[in-house]
Amino acid sequence: MNKAKPRQSRAGVARIGDRGSSNETNAGIAQRRKKENASTVRKLIMDKSDKIFVAGHEGMVGSALVRRLESGGFRNLLVRGKSKLDLRDKSAVDEFFAQEEPAVVILAAAKVGGIKANNDYPVEFLLENLQVQNNVIQTAYEKRVRKLLFLGSSCIYPKLAPQPIPETALLSGPLEPTNEAYAIAKIAGIKLCQAYAREYGANFISVMPTNLYGPNDNFDLETSHVLAALLRKAHDAKTRKDRKLIVWGSGKPRREFLHVDDLASACVLLLEKYDSPEIINIGCGEDISIQELAELICDVVGFDGELAWDITKPDGTPRKLLDVTKLKALGWKPSIQLREGISQTYAWFVANHDR
Ligand code: NDP
């Protein structure tokens, strides 16, 4: 009988199902694979010709990553819209990876929404996100992807996390109940990446971005996040020549906002320089009150009416700011100031939504 040798990928990664010798234990196999992988996968030198699959490229984050990679000279980007490749379908994902053989994967496809959508559709937020991330992460390992970047989120830290929020706060307390389903799915994605790294030496990293805004944001008032919602409300109020703009809550809570192009630049840096399975925060390190944000937005939009605060609506957590010490130590800093980013986003909104 022919005894097949363990198969090795071009990157030297042993495949699932490989056996060194017939009496090797599971723990032994894991140890061996980890060693084999550690010497090869851990060093990622991103070549400009590497095939990079950006999953979710039609979304806000995915489209920013495509812009950033293209402007950085990466010329072999791989994208597929949801209508052509539904990442919830494992066999379709298998076939796609087998055909295309991406070297690097950025997983920016997810079911994302604001408080109302998260609260109303916990089944979809939990199940779809688990399906998408399980399929992509597992297939990436099986098909020998050299590096994968998974997007977590600052909103999956515990509701009462210390401020600014350090990476160690993850799983240290109860979650915000309104987005618990989404958070549980995202935490499972991080844990799966860490498990592949620990057990098989895979170079799968997870990042924790703060609140993002920018082109391709969602401006639907039913499902949008605060900055996009305020921008749309101020624009509508200006167009209708209203004298008053009503904003939810007291305006006192403080939040951090990062332009999505800055997020993309941080992700590319981390793909090139960060090889740890430990999560890493991505933020600008500064927060602003919702009142200051609303005033800034009205100024940019040109709405000169009065702001009124509807204090019957909930404020949420008083402050949410990420501790970005780890990211700063790698030499990264944001380059887009909030006013400049809001002006640019408003111009995008007018060009794309207000036609
Ligand atoms: P978007 O909704 O803008 O983009 C997500 C993309 O994923 C969409 O194009 C969506 O397609 C696609 N997608 C969803 N389900 C599937 C599927 N089954 N198969 C293929 N594609 C699918 O979200 P963002 O760009 O804002 O978010 C991307 C990632 O960044 C998420 O993981 C999110 O958690 C993270 N993040 C975002 C933050 C933010 O403020 N926006 C903050 C922190 C983290 P379609 O629209 O057709 O459903």
Closest CA to 257 of 294, 310, 222, 223: 294
Ligand 1 centre distance from Cα of residue 110 (Å): 4
> Which of the four pLDDT bands, split at 50, 70 and 90, describes residue 40?
very low
Residues noted as catalytic? 182
Domain harbouring 191, CATH code = 3.40.50.720
Residue 260 lies in a domain: yes
Residue 1 lies in a domain: no
Task: Calculate mean pLDDT across residues 124-143.
Answer: 98
Residue 140 lies in a domain: yes
Q: Which of 53, 54, 57, 60 to mutate to test the pocket of ligand 1 (most atoms within 8 A of CB)?
A: 60
What's this model's pTM, rounded to 2 decimal places? Answer: 0.90
Distance CA 248, CA 251 (A): 8
**pLDDT at residue 17 above 50?**
no
- What is the predicted pLDDT for the residue at 175? 95
Residue 77 lies in a domain: yes
Residue 192 lies in a domain: yes
User: For a pLDDT cut of 70, what percent of the chain falls above it?
Assistant: 87
| pLDDT tens-digit series, residues 44-93 | 668 899 999 999 999 999 999 999 999 999 999 999 999 999 999 999 99
Q: Which atom of ligand 1 lies nearest, measured to the CA of 182?
A: 34
Residue 23 lies in a domain: no
Integer Rg of the chain from CA: 22
The range of the structural domain enclosing residue 175 comes to 42-216+256-286+320-338
| pLDDT tens-digit series, residues 163-198 | 999 999 999 999 999 899 999 999 999 999 999 999
Residue 315 lies in a domain: no
Does any ligand 1 atom lie closer than 6 A to the CB of residue 320? no
The count of structural domains within the chain is 1
User: What does the buried/exposed string (b/e) look like for 190-229 if buried means 16 or more CB atoms within 10 Å of the residue's CB?
Assistant: bebbbebbebbbbbbbbbbbbbbbbbbbbbeeebbbbbbb
Question: Average model confidence (pLDDT) for the chain?
Answer: 90
Q: Which of 68, 78, 79, 82 to mutate to test the pocket of ligand 1 (most atoms within 8 A of CB)?
A: 82
Distance CA 67, CA 73 (A): 10
- What is the predicted pLDDT for the residue at 44? 60
Distance CA 218, CA 117 (A): 13
Residue 14 lies in a domain: no
38: which 2 tokens?
A: 């550690």
Does any ligand 1 atom lie closer than 6 A to the CB of residue 56? yes
Does any ligand 1 atom lie closer than 6 A to the CB of residue 225? yes
Half-sphere exposure of 312 (CA within 13 A, CB side): 1
Q: Whose CA is nearest to atom 8 of ligand 1?
A: 59
Distance CA 306, CA 326 (A): 41
